[in-house]
Every structure is written in structure tokens, then in C-alpha cells.
């Protein structure tokens, strides 16, 4: 098995890339691990050989730290992208296993969650799509919807099971004539959050444009009027209060990703 993994990884990464990642990691990581948020990110976000690189490291300056972390994050993105597949589904659960109450989580307090007027709300479409009309909530509610009970996994170490309902995002992208060969789908939100995902994740059968929670209109604290629900991704990759969806070949990063979190963010 180890030989198979090693051979597969060698087909993805050049020898120079692999050596550079190992050398930078050995030189740079320990001091950065002293920051609690970054320590959690590294402990929970690295995959395969990434964790092994953290042993016996020595750190110098901040610029080198960020350089090393950037290389490791890129390594992680490529490994997770390689492992990801449309036939690999996240576990689903019985409704009896739903976490009640489902936790609120954001970079602000619950009382500070944005108050979006559903009557005036319009979802905007940008970028590589044929149909860029704006979508009202009644129009979105009329679309065929599905529901799923899945686990939300937070990079901070906790998880919770919830029931999300909405439009399969792949169906929505096809309806608006999105270029499905584009590399990314990005999101801008009413709470000034932003993130982006790869097209393969956007088309995954469990990725939902979520409009309800536990059979009710999506509550404000969970992302009204809509959020993207992806059980194949860590929580910070699931944007809430979405205002703009853009299909693009331009890498736009994300709120936490631009601060050092892994971009792919697979769970």
C-alpha cells in the first residue's frame, strides 16, 4: 500500500517540489505551531506526508514561515484534489442523530449576523455563465429540492450533524449555463465573507445551495437567505448569506484561506 501511495504521489509532484517542501518544512514550522489557531489548522488540515514533515523542525524568520506554509498548503491542495471524486460520498445520518441545537459558528457573534431582507434579496450571477439574471427567493424556492442529514466538521476540532435542504448546486450551475470546464466557483456574502471552491466540488452530488434547515426556511444564524452546504468540505469552506456566485478561471482565495488556511479544505 505504501509503495502504491508513494508511486501515485510521485506522479503528481515533481522531485524538486517534494524536496523543496520537505526542506522548508524541516526549517520553518515549530514557531508557527505556537499560534493556537495555526497549530489547529496544521494538525487538522495536513494530509499524508504533510504531518510527518513537522517532526524535528527549526524555525527562522516569518517570511520563511509563510513560504513554508504556502508550499505545504499547496501540497495539501494537490493531494486532496487527487483523492477527491464525485463517487466518494460523505456519510449520511438518521434524523434522530441531528445535533440540537446545532451550533452557531462565525468570525463574529451570533447577534451580529447580517439581517437580509428576503423581499428585496436578489442572488447575482457573475463570470462564465450564459444566464446572468438575478434570482429572487421565491424563484429559488420553486426549484426542485432535496435534503440530506450530514456532519459539519469544523477546523477547530468539533463537529455537529444537521439537516440541510436545497437545490443541488450542480443542477443550478447547469440551469444558468455555467461553464463547467471553468476552474473555480467563488462566493461573496452579506457578512463580507468570501471563499472559492473547485468545479469538481461544485458539481459533487452532495453539494447543495441550501435554503432550509431542519425543514424550515434557513434561519439567520445559519446563513439566511442561503448558504452552500458541502459535507465533503470543512466548515469554513461553506459560505453563508450568499449574495454573488461567480464562475471563473481566476483564483480568488478566501477569507480564512488568505490568512493561511488550506484552500481545498476537504473534510
Verify cis geometry, omega within 30 degrees of 0, for the bond prior to 225. Answer: yes
Determine the average pLDDT of the residues in 58-87.
Answer: 50
Q: What is the pLDDT of residues 229-261, one digit of tens each?
A: 999 999 999 999 999 999 999 999 999 999 999
Verify cis geometry, omega within 30 degrees of 0, for the bond prior to 101. Answer: yes
CA geometry: angle 71, 156, 211, nearest 5 deg? 100
Angle between helix 36-45 and 15-33 (nearest 10): 140
Write down the pLDDT at residue 49: 44
Write down the pLDDT at residue 88: 86
> Is residue 31 pLDDT above 60, yes or no?
no
pTM over 0.85: no
Amino acid at each position: 500500500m505504501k509503495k502504491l501511495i508513494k508511486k501515485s504521489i510521485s506522479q503528481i509532484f515533481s522531485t524538486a517540489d517534494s524536496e523543496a517542501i520537505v526542506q522548508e518544512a524541516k526549517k520553518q514550522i515549530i514557531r508557527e505551531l505556537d499560534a493556537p489557531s495555526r497549530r489547529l489548522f496544521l494538525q487538522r488540515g495536513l494530509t499524508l506526508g504533510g504531518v510527518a514533515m513537522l517532526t524535528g523542525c527549526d524555525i527562522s524568520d516569518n517570511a520563511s514561515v509563510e513560504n513554508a506554509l504556502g508550499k505545504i498548503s499547496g501540497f495539501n491542495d494537490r493531494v486532496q484534489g487527487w483523492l477527491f471524486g464525485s463517487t466518494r460520498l460523505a456519510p449520511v445520518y438518521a434524523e434522530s442523530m441531528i445535533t440540537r441545537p446545532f451550533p452557531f459558528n462565525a468570525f463574529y457573534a451570533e447577534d451580529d449576523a447580517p439581517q437580509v431582507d428576503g423581499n428585496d434579496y436578489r442572488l447575482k450571477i457573475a463570470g462564465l455563465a450564459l444566464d446572468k439574471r438575478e434570482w429572487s427567493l421565491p424563484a429559488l424556492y420553486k426549484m426542485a429540492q432535496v435534503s440530506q442529514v450530514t456532519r459539519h466538521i469544523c477546523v477547530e476540532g468539533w463537529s455537529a450533524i444537521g439537516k440541510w435542504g436545497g437545490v443541488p448546486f450542480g443542477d443550478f450551475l447547469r440551469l444558468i449555463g455555467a461553464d463547467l470546464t471553468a476552474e473555480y466557483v467563488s462566493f461573496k456574502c452579506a457578512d463580507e465573507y468570501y471563499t472559492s471552491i473547485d468545479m469538481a466540488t461544485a458539481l459533487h452530488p452532495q453539494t447543495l445551495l441550501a435554503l432550509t434547515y431542519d425543514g424550515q426556511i434557513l434561519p439567520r444564524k445559519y446563513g439566511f437567505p442561503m448558504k452552500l452546504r458541502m459535507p465533503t468540505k470543512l466548515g469554513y469552506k461553506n459560505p453563508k448569506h450568499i449574495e454573488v456566485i461567480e464562475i471563473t478561471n481566476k483564483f480568488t482565495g478566501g477569507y480564512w484561506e488568505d490568512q493561511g488556511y488550506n484552500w481545498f479544505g476537504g473534510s
